[in-house]
């Protein structure tokens, strides 16, 4: 049925299925603290991180995306012909012109489906959210042809040796988007804030490493959070007024959300972010006697404004400490369940927010989450940010149960990864650095490090064309179904002396 023949928008548009992929290798953050010679707890307590997933030179943005989309299609028995839009959000580009989406079209060749809209959306950590919005808008537009959309986010977050390196990570998330979804996006509840800032950016196209102003980045993140939260609350307030026939409606605060999920550069920042939302509520509410008790730890800061915190680090530290104490119970209930993947894998960049959403769904049963509202805050440096929300459908459906069942293996997959000693981790990153964007190159990483069902890079030819294969129980298989040999490079040039086989 065409859009023109329908009398209304499709019902309950949102996420039908989610697939999360992370590398099979990781480095323990406590061991990395000792190796780096930093104070104990700097990474594990200061950042709130337990492990950091990383990729060798056999995985890249294309392979991560291929893996997560293939797994999404297979686990949900989705007919490739039912996909009408494919959106990719990433900041780890491999080509300045050719999109990751076009590489993913290899997964649809056998079905004969080449009529798929969408390309890549690029912005640090936020590209995935704009890609998701693009897919939602397509389903609710006159262009929609009744098929489903896939949103893919994939990145490898690596930093030069130094203070920022422990905040790296890697992974991919794919989401199936369409009507009658168990995770329903609340229509009209989206607020976006964008501005210009050089807090984190990648001006050197020959390097994977970003330029980071850590202090500015945190201030930009929290400032964007303030703007988005205030804008989102205003939309909810307006909606409540409209549904109550213009009568007075109560203010909107953290109690509006059952869970609050944030983009996760590192886990500790999410705790500070939840505290920041409580501070917003405190400063913008007229407190009753009961509320004064709730906010007693913040009572000394009634007359501050949020803008001055960015310019007064001493005051900012005092207020942050009081806010963290005031919001501890709310954090444990609303946000801590979202940190399972990020604590163990690290910053995945664009997939980070949606891996956090999946973590919430892993933490509770479907019966416990039905009817719950999940708030989402997306941030990307540069900067772009948004706040929106999901309602978990109360309707019992096989689709909802399948969504939860397909995510249930995440804790076990985290446990069965291979822990790599810090010294080997450092050598692997040295190889990535020295071989970044080489042509006529065959990767050095052990083929055994690639998980079963994952795609890996086979070779980059003299024209920079990349070929991939998928690891199966029968070996490595290319897109034509042929078994291929994953070989060592024949010429040992521009490669560190360490041999990882």
8 A C-beta contact, residue 467 and residue 459: yes
Contact status, residue 260 vs residue 334, Cβ threshold 8 Å: yes
3-state SS assignment for residue 337: helix
**Nearest residue to 22 (alpha-carbon basis) of 401, 344, 402:** 344
What is the gyration radius of the CA atoms in the chain, in angstroms?
23
With a CB cutoff of 8 Å and minimum separation 6, the contacts of 142 are: 3, 4
Partners of residue 193 on adjacent β-strands: 385
Each as own residue / partner, the long-range contacts of residues 28-32 (CB below 8 Å, 24 or more positions apart, any chain) are 28/419, 28/422, 29/166, 31/421, 31/422, 32/166, 32/422, 32/425
Distance CA 87, CA 100 (A): 9
Active site residues: 91, 125, 263
In 285-420, which residue ranges form alpha helices assigned H by DSSP? 289-294, 306-309, 313-334, 340-345, 352-363, 366-369, 398-407, 410-415
Burial 391-402 (b: 16+ CB within 10 A, else e): bbbeeeeebbeb
Distances (CA, A) of 153 to 36, 122, 349, 352: 31, 10, 9, 9
Q: Please choose, from the candidates 470, 363, 372, 472, the residue with its C-alpha nearest in 3D space to the C-alpha of residue 410.
A: 363
Count of CB atoms situated within 10 Å of the CB of 253: 18
């Amino acid at each position: 049925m065409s859009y023109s023949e329908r009398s209304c928008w499709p019902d309950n548009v949102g996420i039908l299925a989610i697939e999360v992929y992370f590398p099979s290798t990781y480095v323990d953050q406590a061991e990395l603290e000792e190796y780096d010679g930093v104070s104990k707890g700097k990474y594990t307590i200061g950042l709130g991180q337990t492990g950091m997933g990383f990729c060798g030179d056999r995985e890249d943005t294309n392979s991560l995306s291929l893996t997560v989309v293939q797994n999404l299609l297979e686990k949900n028995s989705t007919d490739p012909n039912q996909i009408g839009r494919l959106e990719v959000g990433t900041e780890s580009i491999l080509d300045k012109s050719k999109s990751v989406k076009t590489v993913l079209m290899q997964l649809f060749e056998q079905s004969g489906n080449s009529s798929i809209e969408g390309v890549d959306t690029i912005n640090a950590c936020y590209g995935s959210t704009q890609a998701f919005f693009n897919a939602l808008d397509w389903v609710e537009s006159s262009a929609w042809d009744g098929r489903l959309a896939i949103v893919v986010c994939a990145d490898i977050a690596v930093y030069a040796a130094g203070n920022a390196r422990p905040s790296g990570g890697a992974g991919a998330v794919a989401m199936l988007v369409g009507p009658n979804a168990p995770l329903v996006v609340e229509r009209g509840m989206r607020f976006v804030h964008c501005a210009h800032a050089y807090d984190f950016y990648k001006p050197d196209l020959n390097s994977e490493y970003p330029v980071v102003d850590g202090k500015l980045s945190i201030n930009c993140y929290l400032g964007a959070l303030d703007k988005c939260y205030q804008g989102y609350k205003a939309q909810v307030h307006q909606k409540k007024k409209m549904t109550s026939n213009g009568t007075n409606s109560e203010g909107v605060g953290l109690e509006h959300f059952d869970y609050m999920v944030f983009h996760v550069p590192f886990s500790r920042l999410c705790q500070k972010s939840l505290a920041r939302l409580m501070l917003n509520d405190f400063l913008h509410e007229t407190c009753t006697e009961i509320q004064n008790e709730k906010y007693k730890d913040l009572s000394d800061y009634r007359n501050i404004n949020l803008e001055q915190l960015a310019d007064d680090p001493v005051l900012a530290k005092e207020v942050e400490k009081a806010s963290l104490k005031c919001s501890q119970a709310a954090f444990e209930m609303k946000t801590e369940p979202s940190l399972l993947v990020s604590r163990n894998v690290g910053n995945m960049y664009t997939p980070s927010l949606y891996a956090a959403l999946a973590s919430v769904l892993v933490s509770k049963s479907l019966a416990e989450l039905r009817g719950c509202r999940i708030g989402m805050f997306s941030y990307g440096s540069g900067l772009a940010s948004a706040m929106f929300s999901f309602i978990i459908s109360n309707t019992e459906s096989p689709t909802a149960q399948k969504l939860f069942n397909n995510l249930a293996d995440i804790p076990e997959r985290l446990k069965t990864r291979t822990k790599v000693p810090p010294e080997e981790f450092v050598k692997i990153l040295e190889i990535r650095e020295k071989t970044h964007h080489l042509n006529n190159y065959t990767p050095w990483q052990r083929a055994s490090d690639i998980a079963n069902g994952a795609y890996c890079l086979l070779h980059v030819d003299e024209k920079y064309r990349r070929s991939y294969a998928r690891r199966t129980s029968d070996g490595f298989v290319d897109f034509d179904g042929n078994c291929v040999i994953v070989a060592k490079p024949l010429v040992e040039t521009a490669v560190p002396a360490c041999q990882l086989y």
